Each structure stands twice: as structure tokens, then as C-alpha cells.
A and B are shown apart, each in its own frame.
Chain A
Amino acid sequence: MNWLSDRAIERLRDAAAWPELDARYVITGVAGRGGMGTVYVARDQLLDREVAVKVLDLADRKGSRVARLTREAHILARLDHPGIVPVHDAGVLPDGRSFYVMKLVRGRRLDEVLAGEAPHALRLDLFMRVLDAVAFAHAHGVVHRDLKPENIMAGAFGEVFVMDWGVAQDGAADAEPAIVGTPGFMPPEQAGAREVDARADIFALGAVLAQVIGREPSPALAAIAAKAHNPEAQARYQTVEQLAADLSRFRNQDRVSAYRESPAEQLLRIYRRYELPILLVLAYVVMRLVLLVWAGV
């Protein structure tokens, strides 16, 4: 046997992992690899469109990995929302690995967007759409448990998709005792393998928001991120809607619940919000004064 180069090794690993899918789907490349499976780009020959196929890397003997991927497909199928990637098909390969077919999302990961020069307003827009998708999942009893910029895709037209629901908690009964999530994004209760609720996602969203707003945010915005990211679940926003509402207030230059502003900050905020009317009134007053003075002369 000839010596195998590192590249040959990678090709052989790909060959061994290659999923033997139904003839309907022709794989054309690899979109990405995660902790549990690989996402392939494929051509759906029946509907003549490109799709993404997530395939388990290994069917474990206990079947827990197979069940997890299947459960992920079921969760996605249930969460019919513009910010959550839709599932088209699902099944089990001849070698026992489970897979599901989903919409091929084109775009960049949020961490890549944030590393670029995206304007502040656009970043907040994207984040608000993430909140919308997560709130929808929470309303259906699903907690994502691994929200982070790498699991959020942003499309070319401002659309946002929350991806990778592989460790999601689907109702209280499905709580997994194992530690799942990503350090820095998972709250203490999740790191301690305790049962979590929607507030675990709010903690992660706080960490995401901190990255969205950058290093020198306004104090009010920093306070919103800090409140969401509070280690104490009780001290966080209790729902994603509350977080979204505070962010909306910030964008409308209203007072936010997470930050107690000084009188000077309050005046400055009010001035910024009503800058044009205030300037018009001031101009009117000045003009009247000038007229009065001129008439007096």
C-alpha cells in the first residue's frame, strides 16, 4: 500500500462517512460538520432544487444519537417559522444512520457577519429577528440550549435562520441529564446539567447580544445584554418578548427597564428622540425673540 498523504486521508474519511442516500438526492459537497453529524449539499432530483442533508456520523449501539437526530427533525418540522429552517424529508440510511433533508440556507454565519463591517443598525435588526424565531420556539415548548453566533445564519436579504437544534429541549419531559451547550453561552443551571427553561436561551441571547453590540455600546444597550446574561435566572428577562420589548424601547429612544439613567442622560435621550421638533420650537422661539427685539428697536 502506498503512503497516504494528509489530503488522501481526508478523502478516505469522507468516503467512509459518505451517506448512501436514495437516488433522489445527489450529494454535491459538504456544507459543514458538527459535533454529531455532517451537513451535505445535495441536489433533489425530484423537485430540481438544492437542499441540505444532515446525516449522523455514526449510529451508536444504544440508538441515542439516531434518536437525537430524528428528534431534531421532528422539532424543526413542528416549528414552522421564517426564522427556523424547514425540514423537507427524513429517514434512516441502510447502515442505520438517521438523516433529514432541509432547506439549503445560503448566507453567512452571524459570527462572520459580526467580524465584518456590518452597520450597528443592521446587526440589531438581525438580532431582533433571532429573538422572533426563539420566541416562537419557546411558545411551542422548545428551548434551543445552544444559541450562539455560529448557529445563526444570515442571508443576503436580511433573513435570519436559527440552526442546529440538535440539543434542544422539547418540553420539560425531554430534559437531558447530560451537559449540553457551549461554555460562555450556557447558563449555570445548564452547565450544572439541571433542567432548564426558556431563560437558558435568554442567557445565551445576552451573550450573543454582547457580541452584536460590540465593545463600546451605549450604557443602556450594555445593560440590556447584561440583564439577559445574568447568571441568576430570576434576574434575567423572564421571556424573550421582554428582552425584545426592551430592545425596541432602546431603538425608539425610550427608557429601557434594564438601565436606570441619570437626569442628564434622560434629558439627552429625550432631546435625541425629539431632536427635530425641539429644534423647530427653539428656532421659532429664537425667531420670535429676534422679531420682538427688532420691533422694540
Chain B
Amino acid sequence: MSFPATRLSVVERTRSLDEETRRVAWATIIEAYWKPAYKHLRLKWSLGPDEAADLTQEFFTTTLEKDVVERYDPARARFRTYLRLCLDGFAANARKAERRLKRGGEVTIVPLDFQTAEGEMARHEGSVDADVDEIFYQEWLRALLERSVAELKQFADGSARPIMFDVFARYDLADEGDARPTYADLAHDLGLTAATVTNHLAAMRRQFRQIILTRLRDLTASEEEFESEAARLLGSRR
């Protein structure tokens, strides 16, 4: 299957009359965006860890309360760009007001693990001089791929074929600096034939692509935005 089936995007589902649908949609948005938002505040706005965590919480609380998503117009910008601009505006206002930022205690849909996010900051490979939109994209992409890999593992476990994920992890998720093993090495290590390794890897990559496209479809607000994001993710590198 080349395309995930068309369904309402998370943006559209935040406007649903059904409370549970809205809650899940919000959880999806926050899950995809809280880390990029936190890191953006740390890098672009040079906020300390606590201040950035507070502002991230408050941003999503305010976004929820003040119908920020309701005002989003897909014709004017990608949803990711829109949210980032809203975040910048929110941070600028907070700085202007020089007010103490309150904790956004209402947003508990998804637990936000700021400690982990802060730990990742130390390994951040980008530069504060890099294009802010590019950094935000890279963090958004990192979050998307992390969730997609986790879903792929669930898929393999659920199919009672965890070995398939092992093949994928050892080949396509090899640690940085490690040389990629050959198919023969993998076959030897995992007690499989080289042909089985090839088949498992192909199946996992196919499923992984499908998971990513489905998630992208969910996170984008229009067909054009989806195709543009997918082409960028799967195609040319900047």
C-alpha cells in the first residue's frame, strides 16, 4: 500500500464534538510537538531547563484553552510552521511581560519527560546559529521517527516475530560509529539464513514506511501538506 487511507487529521479531530476524539487528537499533537517545542525554547530563546519546561507546559495549555488550532489555516502555512510561530509569539509575550511562568498543570494528557529531553540537549548536534525552522524540523522528525520505531517494534512483537525487529534494529538502527553488519553476519548472529534476513529487513522497512506515512497523514492538515512533508522526509536531504 503506497498511501495511508484518508481520514481526518489530528488538526481536524481537535474540533470534533466527541470529547474522547478531541482528547486523543490533543495527545497526538502534544506527543509529536512537545520535545521540539522544549528544545526550540532552550536553543532559540536561550531559556534555562526549568523555564523552558514551564513555558512548554503553559504553551500547550494555552493552545488547548484558546482555540489556537481552531484558527489554523492550512492555506497559509504548514501546521508545524504555524505551531512554531505560535510558540515564538508565546515566548516573546512571556519575555515581554517578564512574568513568572506558571506551571501548566492541566496538561496531563501525555506525561512530558523534560528530564530526558534535557539529557538529549547535551547530545544535540545542531548549532544555535542554524536555521530555527530547520532545528525545529529536525527535532520534530526525531520525535516522529522515535515513535515510529516504537510502533514498529510493537508490530513485530504483536506478530509474534520479534526477530524481524531485531534484524531491522541491528541493520538500520546500528549505533553511531558502528559499521553496518553484512546480511551474512546478521544471519550468523541471529541463527537465520541470509535470504530470511533479506526478507525480514524488506518486510520491516515496508511496514516502517507505512507507519511513518500514516503518522504523517495524521499530523498534517491537507493532502498537499502531507505529500510535501512525505517527499521531504523520504527524498532530498538538505
Contacts and interface: CB of A to CB of B under 8 A. Distances in A.
Range of interface residues on A (Cβ < 8 Å): 20 to 34
Interface string B60-78: 0000000000000000000
B160 interface: no
Interface in A1-30: 1, 3-18, 20
Interface in B205-234: 205-206, 208-209, 212, 223, 227, 230-231, 233-234
A17 B234 contact: yes
B236 A1 contact: no
Contact of A33 (B142, B168, B206, B236): B236
Interface residues of B, number: 37
A35 B231 CA distance: 9
Contact of B205 (A16, A37, A60, A61): A16
Of A1, A10, A37, A97, chain B has the most CB atoms within 10 Å of the CB of A1
Given A12-B172, A16-B209, A57-B234, A3 B120 contact: yes
A15 B237 contact: no
A4 B146 contact: yes
A97 B235 contact: no
A13 B172 CA distance: 10
Contact of A10 (B3, B116, B119, B237): B237
Interface string B128-148: 000000000010011001111
A229 to B, nearest CB: 28
B125 A58 contact: no
Contacts of B202: 20
Contacts of B173: 8, 11-12
A264 B58 CA distance: 79
A13 B3 CA distance: 17
Chain A contact residues, majority secondary structure: loop
Contacts of A5: 123, 125, 176
Contacts of B116: 3
Contact of A13 (B119, B146, B168, B233): B233
Given A6-B125, A95-B206, A33 B227 contact: no
B2 A59 contact: yes
A6 to B, nearest CB: 5
Nearest to B212: A16
Given A5-B125, A6-B125, A58-B234, 8 more contacts: A8-B173, A11-B173, A11-B174, A57-B231, A57-B234, A57-B235, A95-B1, A96-B3
9 contacts: A5-B123, A7-B176, A9-B142, A12-B172, A15-B168, A17-B209, A33-B237, A57-B234, A60-B227
Q: What 3 A-B pairs are tightest by C-beta distance, nearest first?
A: A96-B2, A57-B235, A15-B172
Interface of B: 1-3, 116, 119-120, 123, 125, 138, 141-142, 145-150, 168, 172-174, 176, 202, 205-206, 208-209, 212, 223, 227, 230-231, 233-237
